[in-house]
Chains A and B, each alone.
Chain A
C-alpha cells in the first residue's frame, strides 16, 4: 500500500473540526486542538481557502467551511462568474485574431454558449449567449469532451460530411486534443466555417469551460486546411489567462 500524504490528512482533520465545531474557529484554536505548529496550520488553511473549501471572516479573522464544499457533489460552476472573469481576456483575443470569440461550458450533453464577443469588423451580428451547440461537432465541444470522464458510445448526428460520428473516430480525436491541448473544427458543424478552441481550467486544473475563435474556413485555416498557428497560440494564451483568473495553478 502506498504511503499516505500527511498534509492531506491534516487538511481533512481541519475540515472535520470546522464542520463539527459550533461556528467559526481561530487559527490558534485549530492549531492547538490538532497539536500542529501555527505556521503549518496557517499554510493548510490558506490552501483550503484558495480552493474555496474554507472561508475566513473579514472582521474576526476566524475560519469556517467554504461555499465550494457545499457544491462539491454537483460539478458547480456559475456561468455568469465564468463570463465575468473571462471578459477581459476574450476581448483581446477577438482583437488579435480578428474573429468572433465564444466561451462554452457543458449543459445536459451540449455546449452552452456563456459568452460571445463579436468579430471586430462592426458588421451586424447577434449575441448568441444561451445557444446550445453539439459537443462532438464543434471545437468548443470537443475540448469539453476531451477532458471529461467517459466518451460517447453511440453513433452521433452528422451535420456535414466531415462531422465525426463513430465512437472510434471521436475517441482518436479526443486523444489528439488531450495531447496537443487544443481542438479544431473544420467544416464539421457548418460548411465553410472553422473554429479553434482550448480548455479553461479551474482549481486543481479541472477543465470548467472552453474558449475559441470561429469564422470562415479560409480565414481560420491555411492552404493546407489546417488552423493558422498564430490563432492556436492566441486561443491558448487567452485560455491560460482565464484559467489563471479562475484559480488554476500557474503552469
Chain B
C-alpha cells in the first residue's frame, strides 16, 4: 500500500474535490524538493531527492544539471500523489534555487556542455585575482553591488568560456545558453523559455542592481557574450506555463533560495531580518526600495520584485560553511552517523574544552571575504574529546552568525532586536540556544521551518492571485519556538575574543601560485 494517510481521511477526501494548492520546487545544494502548500501556508506533502556532489579536484564542486532536472520530473508526480491531489488542483508553481551555481547548455539539444559549477567552488581564485588588478574592477563592484569574489556566477561563466574548447565561439553565435539553476529549470519546464529573475541575476556580478538589467560594462569586464544570457524578469509575475513535470501549470515566481526564505518569513518591511541555517547560512535584512551601499563585508542584493513594481533590496551576510561542517563531521570524520546526532554528542560535554573550529573550507565569506583562508582546529590538547569537537562545530555556526550580525548592525545603524531563524539546523536546540547566547537577543523560529519553499510558494501564489496580498501572508506567520539568551556577559566576551583569534589563524593560508 502506498496511499498517503491524507487519502484515508474523509475530511481530506472532501478537500480533494475543492481545494487548490501551490507547489514549490526547492532546488538546493544537496537535494531537490517538491513541496505542496495549502492556503494557510502549511506543508501538505513533500518529496525529496538528493543529487550527487562531484569533487573532481580540491576546491572544485560540481552538479550534473541533467540529473537535477530528471529529479524534478520524478518528484513532481510523487509530491502530488502524497498530497492526494491532481495536477489541475495546482494553482501555481514557484521556484527557489541554490544561487550562483552556473550551467551552460546547448540551445538545440538541451544538453549541458559540462557539469554545473556550484556556488562553493573556488576554481576561479586565480582568475578573480587577475581581474581584481583590472582598473575597471571597482566600477563593476559598484554596479553589481557585490565584491569581486569566486562566490558569484560571472567569474564562473568566464572560466567555462576559457576552459571549454570552442565554447566562446559557440556562445557568440548564440548556440549555447547559460543560466543559474532557476533558468535551467524554467527552460526545461516550459520547453525553451530562457529567463531569469532579478534576485538570481543580482548574484552574477553581471547585473546592474540599480537598473535591474545586464550591465554592458560588467559583461565587457568579464568577457561574457550577451547572446548567451537569459532575459531578466521580476521575481513575482509570469515565467510561462509548464509543459513538463507540471503540465499546464503557471510558473508564477522564481527567487534565489535566500531571498525566498526572506519572503517566506514575511520580512516585507524594511528592518526585518532572517537567518536561514542550511549548508551555509545567510542573514538577510530587508532595506526596502532603497539600495543601501554595502560595507563591513556585506552584500547588497535584490530581495524580490513584483512585476510592475519597484524592487525591494536587502543587505546580506553570507556564511559559506555551517550545516556542511556538520556533514563533514558525519561523512569525512565519521564521528556521528546522522546530522542530528551532533547535538547528542555535543551534550556529552559542558563546554568546548578550549577548542575552536573555523570552517574556512573555501575561504571565509562575510564579513571577512578571505578566499585564501583555510580551516583550522585550534586549542587542541590531550583533554579534547569528540564531544568537545562536536561543540566546537556548533559554536562555529553561532560565532559566525555573531560576526555577521555585528557587521549588519554597523552597516545599517540599527541594532537587531530578535533573530528570525529557519532551515534544517533549527531542529538543533543546543545550537539555537548558543545563537541566542552569543547574540544576546531572542532567537525565534516560525511555524514553518521550510521557509525557502514557503517563500517560493507564497510568491507564486501571489502572482496568480491565490493569495491576495502581503498582509494575508503575514497573518500566516506564527512563533513556533523561542530561545532566550542566558549567557553570562563576561563569558560571552571571552569566548568571542577566542573565536576571533581562531579566525585570524585561518588567514593567508593559500599562497599565490608562483
B9 with A84: CB separation less than 8 A: no
Query: Nearest Cβ in chain B — how far from A159, in angstroms?
Result: 26
- Shortest A198–chain B CB gap in Å is 11
A65 to B340, CA, bound (A): 21
A96 touching B340 by the CB < 8 A rule?
Answer: no
Q: Does A154 lie at the interface of the complex (its beta carbon under 8 Å from any beta carbon of B)?
A: no
Give the interface residue-count category, chain A.
Answer: 20 to 34
Decide: A95 near B424, CB < 8 A? Known: A122-B478, A127-B482, A127-B483: no
**Mask: chain A, 107-145; 1 = CB below 8 Å from B; 0 = not:** 000000000111011100111010000000000000000
Contact with A along B326-342 (1 / 0, CB 8 A): 00000000000111111
B428, A80: Cβ atoms closer than 8 Å: yes
**Cβ contacts under 8 Å, A251 to chain B:** 1
Question: Complex Cα distance A212/B102, Å?
Answer: 45
The contact of A96 among B42, B342, B429, B448, by CB within 8 Å, is: B42
Q: Does B392 contact A (CB under 8 A)?
A: no
Is there a chain A Cβ closer than 8 Å to B511's Cβ?
A: no
Q: How far is the CA of A139 from the CA of B46 in the complex (A)?
A: 28
Residue A54 interfacial (CB < 8 Å): no
Q: A118 and B2: CB pair below 8 A?
A: no
- Check B9–A233 contact: CB distance below 8 A: yes
Q: Is the CB of A80 within 8 A of B341?
A: yes
A81 at the interface (CB under 8 A from B): yes
**Bound Cα distance A78, B345 (Å):** 10
Nearest A residue to B10, CB-CB: A233
- Bound-complex Cα distance A116 to B44 (A): 20
Interface segment, A86-94, A162-170, A217-225?
A: A86-94
B2 touches A250 (CB 8 A): yes
B449, A83: Cβ atoms closer than 8 Å: no
Q: C-beta contact mask, B55-70 vs A, less than 8 Å → 1, else 0?
A: 0000000000000000
> Pick the contact of B479 from A87, A122, A240 — CB < 8 Å?
A122
Q: Chain B residue with minimal CB distance to A241?
A: B5
1/0 per residue B474-500: CB within 8 Å of A? 000011111100000000000000000
Interface size bucket, B side? Answer: 35 or more
For the complex, what is the distance from the CA of A95 to the CA of B449, rounded to whole Å? Answer: 13
The complex places the Cα of A83 from the Cα of B427 at a distance, in Å, of 7
Q: Is the interface of A mostly helix, strand, loop or mixed?
A: helix
| Number of CB contacts from chain A to chain B under 8 A | 85
Nearest A residue to B1 via CB reads A250
B42 touches A237 (CB 8 A): no
Bound complex: CA A16 to CA B9 (Å):
44
Report if B450 contacts A (CB, 8 A).
Answer: yes
Of A78, A81, A129, A241, which is within 8 A of B429 by CB? A129
**Contact present for B42 and A95 (CB under 8 Å):** yes
Looking at the assembled complex, report how far the CB atom of B327 sits from the nearest CB atom of chain A, in whole angstroms.
13
| A176 on interface, CB distance cutoff 8 Å | no
**Residue in contact with A120 in the complex, picked from B338, B343, B450, B478, CB distance below 8 Å:** B478
> Is A94 within 8 A of B480, CB to CB?
yes
> What 1/0 flags go to B448-464 for Cβ under 8 Å of A?
11100000000000000
Query: Contact: A121 with B11, CB < 8 Å?
Result: no
Q: Given A81-B341, A91-B447, check contact A116 B481 (CB 8 Å).
A: yes
Quote the shortest CB–CB distance from A243 to chain B (angstroms).
Answer: 9
B215 to chain A minimum Cβ distance, whole angstroms, is 41
CB neighbours of B482 from chain A (8 A):
118, 125-127
Task: Pick from B11, B341, B343: contact of A230, CB below 8 A.
Answer: B11
User: A94-B447, A122-B478 known; A88 and B43 CB under 8 Å?
Assistant: yes
The yes or no answer to B411 lying at the interface (CB within 8 A) is: no
Closest chain A CB from B278 CB (angstroms): 13
Q: Is B344 an interface residue (CB 8 A)?
A: yes
Pair B338/A81 contact, Cβ less than 8 Å: yes
Known contacts A84-B424, A91-B480, A95-B447: A78-B341 contact under CB 8 Å: yes
In the bound complex, CA of A79 to CA of B427 (Å): 11
Decide if B6 is an interface residue (CB 8 Å cutoff): yes
The answer on a CB contact under 8 Å between A84 and B6 is: no
Chain A residues within 8 Å of B9, by CB = 233, 237
* A67 close to chain B: CB less than 8 A: yes
8 A Cβ contacts from B26-54 to A = 40, 42-44, 46
A129 to chain B, nearest CB (A): 5
A237 to B46, CA, bound (A): 15
Q: List, in ascending order, chain B residues with CB within 8 A of A117's CB.
A: 447, 480-481
Q: How far is the CA of A233 from the CA of B12 in the complex (A)?
A: 11
Q: In the complex, are the beta carbons of A118 and B339 less than 8 A apart?
A: no
Q: Which residues of A contact B483 (CB under 8 A)?
A: 127
Closest A residue to B426 by CB, please name it: A87
Contact residues in A for B11 (Cβ distance below 8 Å): 230, 233
Chain A residue at smallest Cβ distance from B450: A88
Which A residues are CB-close (under 8 A) to B479?
118, 120, 122, 125
Distance between B301 CB and nearest chain A CB, rounded to angstroms: 28
Contact B447 A240 (CB under 8 A): no
How far, in whole Å, are A52 and B116 apart by their CA atoms in the complex?
34
**Contact assessment for A92 and B340 in the assembled complex, using a CB-CB cutoff below 8 Å:** no
Interface residues of B in 315-361 (CB under 8 A from A): 337-344
| Whole-angstrom CA separation of A241 from B4 in the bound complex | 8
B-chain residues with CB within 8 Å of residue A118 when the two chains form the complex: 478-482
| CB of A231, distance to nearest CB on chain B (Å) | 12
Cα distance, A121 to B479, chains bound together (Å): 8
Q: A91-B42, A92-B43 are in contact. Are A78 and B480 (CB under 8 A)?
A: no
| A87 partner residues in chain B, CB cutoff 8 A | 426-427, 449
In the complex the two chains form, is A83's CB within 8 Å of B340's CB?
yes
**B338 contacts which chain A residues (CB < 8 A)?**
78, 81
Which residues from chain A contact B5 at a C-beta distance below 8 Å? 237, 240-241
Q: Which residue of B lies closest to A92 (CB)?
A: B42
Write the A220-251 contact mask toward B (1 if CB under 8 angstroms, else 0): 00000000001001000100110000000011
B261 smallest CB distance to A (angstroms): 15
Given contacts A80-B343, A251-B1, 16 further A-B contacts (CB under 8 A): A78-B340, A80-B428, A81-B340, A83-B340, A84-B340, A88-B43, A88-B450, A92-B43, A95-B40, A96-B42, A117-B447, A118-B478, A118-B480, A118-B481, A237-B5, A237-B6
Can you pick out 24 interface pairs between chain A and chain B where the beta carbons lie within 8 Å of each other? A78-B344, A80-B427, A80-B429, A81-B340, A83-B340, A87-B427, A88-B450, A91-B447, A91-B449, A92-B43, A92-B44, A94-B480, A95-B42, A96-B42, A118-B478, A118-B481, A120-B447, A125-B479, A126-B482, A127-B481, A127-B483, A240-B5, A250-B1, A250-B3
8 shortest interchain CB distances as A-B pairs: A120-B478, A84-B340, A80-B340, A84-B427, A80-B343, A81-B340, A92-B42, A240-B5
